[in-house]
């Protein structure tokens, strides 16, 4: 049945439209639940043992719970809906219909998630190499690999979003994941665990349970957000400080190549807003399910000029579901001459003062200081066009 279904899908490019009559209802989005983090709790290739759960994290890769369910049940970087799966390994899943949502990279595990580490890595691995270009070549190759990983993740996040009704419907009617192989994927899900205040609180519920299907439904209803990379925890971070919960890993959007802007609006717009903010802050934002009026995304960044006009001297207006303090009634977006008083600036730091740190997907960490500094400088100099 399942294989027939996926083949039928392959032959019907417009299948989304053709199923609208019986499309699954996604229902309400609980944002906090959609961003619940689970952690991979055993080293790759080993059976999960009770002691491993009790004793702590050995791998620690974080994913949102819904992202983890898609990952383990649909392809896990190797079968069916994974770009790595070929031929019979796809079990009929159409080529290109990939839901691989594994992290793009893990800092501390993959040497090139950020530029500084990558440079150190390239220097180290080229030590004693007579080729004068070795460092640059190694650096470029490794950064390109991370770039490709991010592209893969974003493409598959988009596919998941575009196919959200069918994903939910086929999981709910039991046709996905298919048959005996589908049952086998349960074992992978058991590698992921939830933590509360740093303490193991249980395995992630699998898709053959109603609890697991509810996790998936809610995550899809919220726009299928994904974590993109992890950073090993700082020694002074308590469990639960970072990306919602858990004993390891901050997480966020990988942004290799995020170059510090010059202290001019054009440069700030090109290097920061365009890559990191416009995807949400535009009238027709297809992602993330934040389109209700009053949620902050009416702040339209599609056009550089309009974006600036919409902020200088303009009161903030957004309401945040995730925090107690709304930006509405908290002040002005850009106060020319005073970066610290500007909500636009504060929102990009780890202490936004109202709502959450931007870009939202960054996991509440704010942008790095070398990016913030020229933005501060530009606002303090008068926030000129």
For tokens 């050995």, what's the residue?
A: 58
* Distance, C-alpha 84 to centroid of its chain: 20
User: Burial of 291 by CB count in 10 Å (0-12 exposed, 13-18 middle, 19+ buried)?
Assistant: middle
Contact call for residue 347 and ligand HEC (CB under 6 A): yes
- Please state, as a whole number, how many other Cβ atoms lie within 10 Å of the Cβ of residue 144: 12
CB 216, CB 32: distance < 8 Å:
no
Q: Under rule CB under 6 A, which residues in 253-312 are in contact with ligand HEC? A: 272-273, 276-277, 279-281, 288, 290, 295-297, 299
Q: How far is the CB of 224 from ligand HEC (least distance, A)?
A: 12
Q: Under rule CB under 6 A, which residues in 306-345 are in contact with ligand HEC? A: 316-318, 320, 327, 333, 343-344
Contact call for residue 112 and ligand HEC (CB under 6 A): no
Specify the residue, 177 or 289, whose C-beta has the smaller distance to ligand HEC.
289
Specify the residue, 175 or 285, whose C-beta has the smaller distance to ligand HEC.
285
Q: How far is the CB of 188 from ligand HEC (least distance, A)?
A: 28
Q: Under rule CB under 6 A, which residues in 186-225 are in contact with ligand HEC? A: none
Give the chain's length.
Answer: 385
Specify the residue, 65 or 316, whose C-beta has the smaller distance to ligand HEC.
316
Contact call for residue 360 and ligand HEC (CB under 6 A): yes
Tell me whether strands 192-196 and 62-64 are parallel, antiparallel or unpaired.
Answer: unpaired
Angle at 251 between CA 379 and CA 263, to 5 degrees: 15
Q: Which residue is nearest to ligand HEC (CB)?
A: 355
- Please state, as a whole number, how many other Cβ atoms lie within 10 Å of the Cβ of residue 1: 9
Q: How far is the CB of 247 from ligand HEC (least distance, A)?
A: 26
Q: How far is the CB of 82 from ligand HEC (least distance, A)?
A: 25
DSSP 113-144: SSHHHHHHHHHHHTTT---TTHHHHHHHHHHH
Residues pairing with 116 in the sheet: none
Residue 231: φ, ψ to 5°: -125, 135
Among 355, 363, 364, 374, binds ligand HEC (CB under 6 A): 355
Among candidates 351, 332, 350, 328, which has minimal Cα distance to 341?
332
- What is the per-residue binding string for ligand HEC in 119-148, x denoting contact by CB under 6 A? ------------------------------
Contact call for residue 364 and ligand HEC (CB under 6 A): no
- Burial annotation 338-365 (CB, 10 A radius, 16+ → b, else e): ebeebbbbbbbbeebbbbbbbbbbbbbb
Specify the residue, 156 or 157, whose C-beta has the smaller distance to ligand HEC.
157
Residues that bind ligand HEC (CB under 6 A): 272-273, 276-277, 279-281, 288, 290, 295-297, 299, 316-318, 320, 327, 333, 343-344, 347-348, 355-356, 358-361
């Amino acid at each position: 049945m399942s294989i027939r279904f996926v083949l039928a899908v392959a032959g019907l490019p417009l299948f989304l439209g053709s199923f609208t009559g019986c499309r699954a209802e996604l229902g309400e989005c609980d944002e906090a639940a959609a961003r619940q983090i689970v952690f991979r709790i055993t080293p790759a290739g080993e059976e999960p043992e009770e002691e491993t759960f009790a004793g702590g994290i050995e791998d620690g890769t974080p994913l949102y719970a819904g992202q983890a369910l898609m990952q383990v049940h649909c392809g896990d970087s190797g079968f069916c809906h994974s770009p790595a799966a070929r031929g019979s390994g796809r079990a009929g899943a159409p080529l290109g219909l990939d839901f691989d949502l594994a992290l793009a990279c893990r800092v501390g595990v993959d040497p090139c998630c950020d530029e500084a580490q990558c440079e150190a890595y390239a220097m180290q691995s080229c030590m004693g190499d007579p080729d004068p270009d070795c460092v640059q070549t190694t650096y470029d190759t490794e950064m390109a690999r991370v770039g490709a990983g991010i592209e893969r993740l974003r493409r598959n996040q988009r596919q998941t979003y575009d196919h959200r009704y069918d994903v939910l419907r086929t999981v709910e009617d039991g046709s996905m994941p298919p048959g005996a192989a589908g049952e086998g994927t349960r074992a992978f899900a058991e590698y992921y665990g939830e933590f509360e205040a740093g303490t193991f609180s249980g395995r992630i519920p699998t898709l053959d349970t109603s609890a697991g299907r509810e996790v998936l439904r809610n995550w899809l209803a919220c726009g299928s957000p994904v974590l993109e990379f992890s950073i090993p925890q700082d020694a002074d971070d308590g469990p639960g400080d970072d990306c919602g919960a858990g004993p390891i890993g901050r997480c966020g959007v990988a942004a290799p190549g995020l170059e510090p802007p010059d202290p001019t609006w054009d440069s700030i717009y090109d290097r920061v807003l365009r890559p990191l903010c416009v995807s949400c802050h535009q009238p027709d934002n297809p992602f993330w399910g934040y389109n209700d009026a009053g949620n902050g995304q009416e702040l339209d960044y599609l056009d550089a000029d309009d974006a600036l006009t919409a902020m200088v001297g303009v009161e903030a207006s957004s309401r945040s579901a995730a925090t107690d303090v709304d930006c509405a009634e908290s002040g002005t977006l850009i106060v020319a001459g005073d970066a610290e008083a500007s909500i636009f600036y504060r929102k990009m730091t780890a202490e936004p003062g109202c709502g959450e740190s931007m870009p939202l997907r960054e996991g509440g960490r704010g942008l790095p200081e070398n990016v913030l500094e020229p933005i501060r400088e530009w606002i303090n100099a008068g926030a000129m066009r």
